Structure 1
């Protein structure tokens, strides 16, 4: 046992001494969640600011006094668009779509002829694109009012055109809405697990081979299992530390949210953090064992890094599997590592209670993955130096 603790202490000291490992772990854990939530809140604020701006940029508004009167009555301001609005939209000098009114608009409306309005914007100008939806709603309201007035003047009841009133009723719980704007958080946490422990796993295997410190370690009276468990324990502690730091960063991240809507919807509490830890810590330990196993056969740090990066691509690939099964998710999802944890984290964010059986299955899968990886590492540890 003393030998095992000595190996763990030595590997932890090497991992924390390696600046690349330490900076990667800290960056992925402490900055990931704040950046994601900051981006979400910024985008939502941009969308809401366009809806609250209540300014219409128009070309040819003088051709339609009725439309101008309607827009002003809705509390909007009308400003003439610059002559070179197309170029300025592309260069993002203007951040709103431009309403273009044809010369014969008023004449066609008066005679009951069909006429078209154009809303011009550059698709690369995100702020202008965000302003299209409120402008469309405003124009739809104008069309509705014009139709009602024309039918009323002809003595036709407008109720004949709308005998059925359609209303939407949301079945989603209020606390579930926060998942719609934070659905990337589980994936970000999973990627932090992989990146956080990857460099420690590479350094303790291929890194030691390059430095020539692996052979002296093999000369000590230790067996393969002691070496495997010792190295895995150190890497697993680093990986699990990244999990704790990442989840802990959710709490101060909520203070950085600028958007009031997102701040109200994303309420990450202590109970949520506990469930995240229960779900993620076993996965972090099993991923650490797999990363060591992948890097063990590599003869250089660079080769081990490439192989582990290929393995890390497994996470975004697995996250796409639910797209192939719209509707009710199959029960076998809970047997797939990463996919099961992603599902359970989303359930926690929705405010749902986790299924004890699903948590137990995920734990068993992680234990099997860890045991298999450690058996492989113990078998190869004595042979790898001789290759």
Structure 2
């Protein structure tokens, strides 16, 4: 144990001598992530409020066919615009978000008390057109319901007679679960930070020392090679957990400023402690996996080339859950990356994590970390490890 602690101290001391690298690792992530999230959140909030409150400019094709409808829309914060010469081209060029088309048959259908057709032209692949389209759809539905009710009253029929079922929605989502929905991005950022938090130290302590030919004298010491490797992994885990702690604290500080920006986000100290516990296995897994890979690399550049591939692993669960949402199942807490994603989402949503879920997660997480640790130890017994070429 003394040898392992000595190696750990040596690696951390070497790392902290490179102040620029330490500053980038410990400050850039914790400062950049919260600033990015709050900035994007504020931008999205301003965009939504602006699109909902500002007058809606609505080009209308065939406005002369429905003067009452056009007049009604004008009184509801809608600015009626003349129809463009090439409506499809204007929408494709993103010059216009939504167009209302009223066909010539509208007037005849209206006078015959039949459903009068209208068309909403838009590009569903454009996210910036979503709110204007919803505003137009909502206004038209309101107009249709109001006019239909007046038609029934004119015939001596109660408007409620046409409503066989009245549907009411009861939203059981809590304030905490809504915050969890807004923080759906958080698991990926934290998992990625924990997974590669000690990457620089691991690469420098293995491939870097091998390239500098300083690994051979270290392996020639009386200390067991497994303990030398363990000291290096332990140092990387310490640095990775320090990075995670600073990242979580920066999120905590940033979310305290969020209400002043119109964003409702929060993290309690208990949630921070729980997330740190959840992320310990992923730090161990990432450090062990990178140690195994970097131990076989002949140079720092070769070891760094694997980082682009490894960085894809934490994002896979996020992509899978976006495409194919799944209900929580016990087996999910045994799958690396997916387990961390599910655990962090439950924490930010303030949902109860059962004893079985904690047990499966910690057992499988630490178990996989221990397996990677053992594999790395076996790699350090390879005599070719000390040879740089």
Describe how 1:86-101 pairs up with structure 2 within 5 A.
Answer: 89-92=91-94, 96-101=97-102
Cα deviation for residue 221 of structure 1 reads 2.7
Does the 8 A contact of 2:206 with 2:295 survive in 1?
yes
Describe how 1:169-188 pairs up with structure 2 within 5 A.
Answer: 169-188=170-189
> Which whole-Å CA distance do the structure 1 matches of 2:237 and 2:326 have between them?
36
> Which whole-Å CA distance do the structure 1 matches of 2:132 and 2:267 have between them?
31
**Match in the other structure for 2:283:** 284
Does the 8 A contact of 2:107 with 2:116 survive in 1?
no
Structure 1 368/77 Cα, relative in aligned 2: closer, same or farther at 3 Å?
Answer: closer
1:78 partner SS: strand
> Which whole-Å CA distance do the structure 1 matches of 2:186 and 2:274 have between them?
15
Structure 1 residue 71 corresponds to structure 2 residue 73? yes
Cα deviation for residue 345 of structure 1 reads 1.2
**Match in the other structure for 1:210:** 211
Structure 1 321/274 Cα, relative in aligned 2: closer, same or farther at 3 Å?
Answer: same
> Which whole-Å CA distance do the structure 2 matches of 1:378 and 1:152 have between them?
84
**Match in the other structure for 1:193:** 194
Q: Normalization by structure 1: what TM-score?
A: 0.86
**Match in the other structure for 1:10:** 10
**Match in the other structure for 1:269:** 268
> Which whole-Å CA distance do the structure 1 matches of 2:173 and 2:220 have between them?
62
Encode CA deviations 1:334-371: one digit per residue, 9 max, x unaligned: 22232222222111111123334433433333332333
2:249 partner SS: helix
Cα deviation for residue 113 of structure 1 reads 4.6
Cα deviation for residue 296 of structure 1 reads 0.9
- Give the aligned CA root-mean-square deviation in angstroms: 3.0
Does the 8 A contact of 1:206 with 1:304 survive in 2?
yes
More displaced, 76-85 or 170-179? 76-85
**Match in the other structure for 1:58:** 59
Structure 1 72/259 Cα, relative in aligned 2: closer, same or farther at 3 Å?
Answer: farther
Structure 1 103/21 Cα, relative in aligned 2: closer, same or farther at 3 Å?
Answer: farther
**Match in the other structure for 2:301:** 302
1:70 partner SS: helix
Does the 8 A contact of 1:38 with 1:258 survive in 2?
no
Cα deviation for residue 141 of structure 1 reads 0.6
Structure 1 269/156 Cα, relative in aligned 2: closer, same or farther at 3 Å?
Answer: same
Does the 8 A contact of 1:8 with 1:230 survive in 2?
yes
Cα deviation for residue 320 of structure 1 reads 5.3
2:198 partner SS: helix
> Which whole-Å CA distance do the structure 2 matches of 1:347 and 1:28 have between them?
24
Structure 1 358/382 Cα, relative in aligned 2: closer, same or farther at 3 Å?
Answer: same
Encode CA deviations 1:217-239: one digit per residue, 9 max, x unaligned: 22333211221111111111121
> Unaligned regions of 5+ residues in structure 2, if any?
none
> Which whole-Å CA distance do the structure 1 matches of 2:36 and 2:276 have between them?
21
Structure 1 196/315 Cα, relative in aligned 2: closer, same or farther at 3 Å?
Answer: same
Encode CA deviations 1:289-313: one digit per residue, 9 max, x unaligned: 2221221112222332333443443
Does the 8 A contact of 2:74 with 2:80 survive in 1?
no
Structure 1 residue 248 corresponds to structure 2 residue 224? no
